[in-house]
Structure 1
Amino acid sequence: MRIVVIGGSGHIGTFLVPRLVRAGHEVVNISRGTSTAYADAPEWAQVRQVVADREQQDAEGVFGATVRGLEPDAVVDLVCFTLASATALVEALRGTDAHLVHCGSIWRYGKSRRVPIDESGAGAEAPLDEYGVQKDRIARMLKQETASGGLATTSLHPGHIVGPGWHPIGPLGNLDPAVWTAIANGEPLQVPGSGAETMHHVHADDLAQAFQLAVEHRDAAAGEDFNIVAPTALSVRGYAAIAAAWFGRTATLEPVTWDEFRASTTAGHADASWGHLDRSQCFSIEKAKARLGYAPAYEPDEAVRESLRWLVDNGELDLPVPCVLGSEPPPPR
């Protein structure tokens, strides 16, 4: 197939584009041309690069025509954040035989009510912020588009994406490097809430696997939405304990109120922690396993450990005992 990937130079595309090339597909990557993939791979030499500023072309009303003009069999949209942008692309592709696969987010769901949360959404409250609201609206529009006999569409909703090349969401639900330093040094870690709150990560290559499966199993994927996460979720205290063991330490957690926590860190880190821990999400992947054959290779802690190793090895995270992380990534499950 000719597969057009929109925004293929980021987290997901770093793994997805080489996967698609290895599978024998013709791949076209649309990006602004301002960045490259997080990890180099020989397959990128076979990828056609198209430079286009989506935001600008959306404003001009021509982005959909740009995509349609590439005559794709499938379009993987990794960087769509508003219903208006998604609708414009659907309208441009309607009438073709293309299959549009959209990257959503588990933040289309709000706080957990019943876990694991499945695609019905019955296990969660309404989305909590505009990002989640837009992702939910897009997913519903796409499902309705296909159900009404229009364009073939699918939406995938990843958890907290982690992989080599960028910082993972840590045990406190934020990107504060000081959390990792405290864990590695065996220092007490101030934890807001109960410590039982959960986060659900996914390795970027497992997510790429799901996109490839959705493209290659169009009949099973069309008109559907799928949660794409690791086989298990991590609680705050469990995550901290696992991470401390990587450094030969035992996690020491000090419960604090949210007001106390906010006073001890930056507003940005505190807001990120609240956003992740207040939702306290855990998801089912049974639908993706049954319909697509999704088989994630990484448990969440293995994915995070690989990411930390890359950050240490590349001088982006200064930890006192990096040797404990080892020189080789853990074997995929």
Structure 2
Amino acid sequence: MKIVIIGGSGHIGTFLVPRLVRAGHEVVSISRGQSARYADDPAWEQVRQVVVDREREDASGTFGGTVAALGADVVVDLVCFTLESATALVRALRGGTGHLLHCGSIWRHGPSAKLPIAEDAGTPPLGEYGIEKARIAAMLKQETASGGLVTTSLHPGHIVGPGWHPIGPLGNVDPGVWTTLSGGGTLPVPGSGAESMHHVHADDVAQAFELAIEQRDAAAGEDFTVTAPTALTVRGYADIGAAWFGQTANLETVTWEQFRSGTSEEHAESSWGHLHRSHAFTIAKARDRLGYSPAYEPEAAVLESLRRLIADGRLETARPLAV
């Protein structure tokens, strides 16, 4: 098939594009051309690269037509964040493209109330990002149910992979957290420490997209949560992370006010966003209907990321990894 990937050079596309090339598909990658992919692969030599500024074309109302003109059998949209943008793309592809797959987010669900969270459960989303992702998923489901374009939405957890900082034990990307854990220092933890986060390796997300493409009938009109098999609590994640450096985690419970006063506003807001939601999901639907089988437990995915960051000189730790 001819497959167009919107955002092909990003986290998921870095792994998805080579997968699809190796499966024998003709792949076109659309991106702004402003960033390099996170890992090299010879498969990219067979990929057609198209440079498009989506934000600009969405504003002018031309982006959907640009994508439709490529004549794809399948379109994978990895970088859509508003209902308006998603709706415009659906209208442009309706009747001409066989399958549209959208990358959503577990943040379409609000704070946890009952665990694990299934696709049709959960509380209402918080914040513009989560609200828009929930609206997009509902629109796509209705589009297919009404006989329109065949669509599928996949909703990854906190994406982890080599080349970028993972969401850490405090729910942010503050490198100082790893400095503290690796040096045996005291890490201030807001809340109870029992809050959970659900990561996923980018290649496992790519696996799920590939499976949904291959099994169009099983995926048509459906939404799937795509995460690692298990989730990590703050306390458990910190314990595991400290052990990688031969240390024991020393955690100090603090109030959110105390925590905010000791870090940046950006890191504090990220921590609140992740820990307040305290997410843990079931992947039963993706496993049963698509055969999704993630290769990475969350801690293995994070460790792989840390190894690359340290090797590239992008993360300084008090002690070297002991694993």
Task: Name the TM-score, length of structure 2 as normaliser.
Answer: 0.99
Q: Is residue 72 of structure 2 the alignment partner of residue 72 of structure 1? A: yes
**3-state DSSP of counterpart to 1:322:** coil
Identity %: 70
Encode CA deviations 1:222-278: one digit per residue, 9 max, x unaligned. 100000000000000000001111011111110001111111111111110000000
2:36 & 2:176 partners in 1: Cα distance?
A: 28
CA contact (8 A) 2:71 2:97 kept: no
Q: How far apart are the structure 2 equivalents of 1:166 and 1:311?
A: 7
SS in structure 2 opposite 1:38?
A: coil
Q: Which residue of 1 aligns with 2:259?
A: 261
1:83 aligns with 2:104: no
Tell me the residue number matched to 1:15. 15
1:138 counterpart SS class: helix
Letter in 2 for 1:82: T
Residue type at the aligned position of 1:17: V
Question: What's the counterpart of residue 115 of structure 1?
Answer: 115
Amino acid at match of 2:203: D
SS of equivalent residue, structure 1 residue 112: coil
Match of 1:58 in 2: 58
Aligned to 1:131: 129
Q: CA deviation at 1:36?
A: 1.7
- Map 1:1-333 onto structure 2 (within 5 A): 1-121=1-121, 124-325=122-323
2:322 aligns to what SS in structure 1?
helix
In 2, Cα distance between equivalents of 1:98 and 1:4: 12
Residue 62 of structure 1, CA deviation: 1.0
Counterpart-to-counterpart distance in 1, 2:72 and 2:169: 41
Q: Secondary structure at the match of 2:30?
A: strand
Q: Using the TM superposition, give the Cα deviation of residue 321 of structure 1 relative to its aligned residue in structure 2, in angstroms.
A: 2.4
Mapped to 1, the partners of 2:259 and 2:34 lie a distance apart of: 37
Q: Pick closer, same or farther for the CA change 1:258–1:282 going to 2, 3 Å.
A: same
Deviation at 1:322, TM superposition (A): 2.3
Structure 2 SS opposite 1:253: strand
| Structure 2 contact 244–321 (Cα < 8 Å) conserved | no
CA distance in 1, matches of 2:2, 2:61: 24
Shift of 1:320: 2.7
Give the Cα separation in 2 of the matches to 1:323 and 1:56.
44
Q: State the shift of 1:12 in Å.
A: 0.6
Counterpart Cα distance in 2 of 1:227 and 1:177: 28
Report the 3-state secondary structure (helix = DSSP H, G, I; strand = E; otherwise coil) of the residue aligned with 1:166.
coil
Q: Secondary structure at the match of 1:212?
A: helix
Q: Which residue of 2 aligns with 1:330?
A: none
- What is the distance in 1 between the residues matched to 2:233 and 2:258? 21
**Aligned to 1:116, what secondary structure does the other structure show?**
coil
Structure 2 CA distance for aligned equivalents of residues 274 and 104 of structure 1: 21
Q: Distance in 1 between matches of 2:320 and 2:23?
A: 36
Partners in 2 of 1:312 and 1:97 — Cα distance? 43
Matched position secondary structure for 1:324 = coil
TM-score by length of 1: 0.96
Q: Match for 2:44: what amino acid?
A: W
String of CA shifts for 1:286-332, please: whole Å, max 9, x gaps: 0000011000000000000000000000000011322424xxxxxxx
Quote the RMSD (CA, aligned, Å).
0.7
Query: SS at the partner of 2:29?
Result: strand
Counterpart in the other structure of 1:329: none
Q: How many Å separate the matches in 2 of 1:35 and 1:23? A: 25
Contiguous gaps of at least 5 residues in structure 1:
326-333
State the shift of 1:97 in Å: 4.0
**Helix, strand or coil at the partner of 2:3:** strand
Equivalent AA in structure 1 for residue 140 of structure 2: L
Query: Distance between the aligned counterparts of 1:221 and 1:322, measured in 2?
Result: 44
**Whole-Å Cα distance in 2 between the matches of residues 163 and 237 of structure 1?**
22
Secondary structure of the equivalent of 1:130?
A: helix
- Structure 2 unaligned segments of length 5 or more: list them: none
Aligned 8 A contact 2:75 2:97 in 1: no
Task: Indicate the SS of the match to 1:117.
Answer: coil
User: Whole-Å Cα distance in 1 between the matches of residues 63 and 270 of structure 2?
Assistant: 32
